[in-house]
Structure 1
Amino acid sequence: MGGWGLVVHFMLPVPLFLCALVAAPLPRHMSEQACRLADKILSLHIADTPIVKILMGVSFVLFLGTLFDVMRPPNINNKGDANTEANSRAKRLRSERNFWIATFVASLWIMLYVVYKLRKKLIEVEKELELKKKELAAKSQ
């Protein structure tokens, strides 16, 4: 499996699944469980750095690499036979495909990070609200 195979088979489905799981409008209990699962996965550390930040950095570097590759002008001086031109066009199309994959992966990791933080904050606020309601109900009785 090549480098882009790893990106497509690992770096793409993980944030896609976790983002769908965390952002899904689930009941509170299930939402807390989904957030706990995402927390277990995202709290893994490599050399005291959260894995989510490492993978966001890797996806951003991949995005920049493909961006520079796509921005490079095509080699029009290489007018050879039909095979050479077809290979040049195929390389260009692969570069553009990789650019869109890298863009999607980087966007997914950033979106996962933001949605996860928002969901955690929402769960905390809902718990505080429930406690305040219980306190208010206890005071009124």
Structure 2
Amino acid sequence: MATIWSIIAFWILPIPLVLFTLLTLPLPRNMRRGLLIFTQRVFDVPVVGAFKLLHVMLWLTAVAFLGSARQAHMIKTAGQEAVWTTPNMEISHLSKRWRSERNLWMTAFAFCAWVFLAALYREASRRLDLEARLSEMERSDFTATETREPSVSREVTSKAAAAAAASRDRTPTAGSPNKTAATAAHPAAAELVGSAAGGSSPPGGIQMQELKKTA
């Protein structure tokens, strides 16, 4: 019995405490990843068939906790019904009760340590994976922004050139189609313009007749 409790005290209990302390330290990402890999290898050590070290430790600590709880209850019940004839008998009973309660709390702490270590390992692995994914997303967004800026500038330049061309098309010139259409619709006006440009003016009567015909 003493060998079992020595194994629990010197081997089963210190392992989760050391790993728990290392996983909670504020270390760089690479070191944390290395600690997680080491912890996973400790958990995955094969012991009996398909059972790994984590499964065996949880089972051993749970069984030890239940056994120590049963023993502590039996010793406490026996002390309540006993009648002590000498002080040494009472001291012996109290020492047994103290050892059983100590073993109870030690096994409970060992079981909780392994459970908490497994939970911390899972959450630390999840957090590290999320941090890696977030850093990859940030790098991809930065690259996409750099590649999108030249295309945006080219698009703005092409739009400005198209707007300038459209404004030039809308501006009337000396030989624009609007002016040609106006002179074609009014031949008399065209004749007047041509005569004015040539420096000669037609007679007033002929000019009035042509204007009436046109009207």
Using structure 2 for the length normalisation, give the TM-score. Answer: 0.62
Q: Which residue of 2 aligns with 1:132?
A: 137
Q: In structure 2, what is the Cα distance between the partners aligned to 1:65 and 1:24?
A: 35
8 A Cα contact 1:23 1:119, kept in partner: no
Displacement after TM superposition at 1:77 (Å): 2.2
**2:115 is the alignment partner of 1:110:** yes
Q: Which residue of 1 aligns with 2:153?
A: none
Map residues 1-141 of structure 1 onto 2, 5 A cutoff.
2-46=3-47, 47-72=49-74, 73-75=77-79, 76-141=81-146
Displacement after TM superposition at 1:78 (Å): 4.6
Any idea what the Cα deviations from partners look like across 1:26-47, whole Å, max 9, x if unmatched? Answer: 1111111111111121111221
Aligned residue for 2:85, secondary structure, equals coil
Aligned-residue Cα RMSD (Å) equals 1.4
Report % sequence identity: 23
Aligned residue for 1:80, secondary structure, equals coil
Any idea what the Cα deviations from partners look like across 1:12-68, whole Å, max 9, x if unmatched? Answer: 110000111112221111111111111121111221122112101110111111112
Structure 1 residue ranges, 4+ long, deviating more than 4 angstroms after superposition: none
Rg larger in structure: 2
Which stretch of structure 1 is more off in the superposition, 29-38 or 105-114? 29-38
Q: In structure 2, what is the Cα distance between the partners aligned to 1:45 and 1:82?
A: 51
Q: In structure 1, what is the Cα distance between the partners aligned to 2:51 and 2:4?
A: 23
Q: In structure 1, what is the Cα distance between the partners aligned to 2:82 and 2:40?
A: 53
8 A Cα contact 1:66 1:98, kept in partner: yes
In structure 1, stretches of 5+ residues that fail to align are none
Using structure 1 for the length normalisation, give the TM-score. Answer: 0.93
Q: In structure 2, what is the Cα distance between the partners aligned to 1:126 and 1:50?
A: 29
Displacement after TM superposition at 1:11 (Å): 0.6
Displacement after TM superposition at 1:95 (Å): 0.3
Q: For this pair of structures, how many residues does the alignment match?
A: 141
Q: In structure 2, what is the Cα distance between the partners aligned to 1:24 and 1:38?
A: 14
Aligned residue for 1:128, secondary structure, equals helix
Any idea what the Cα deviations from partners look like across 1:104-126, whole Å, max 9, x if unmatched? Answer: 10110000000011111111111
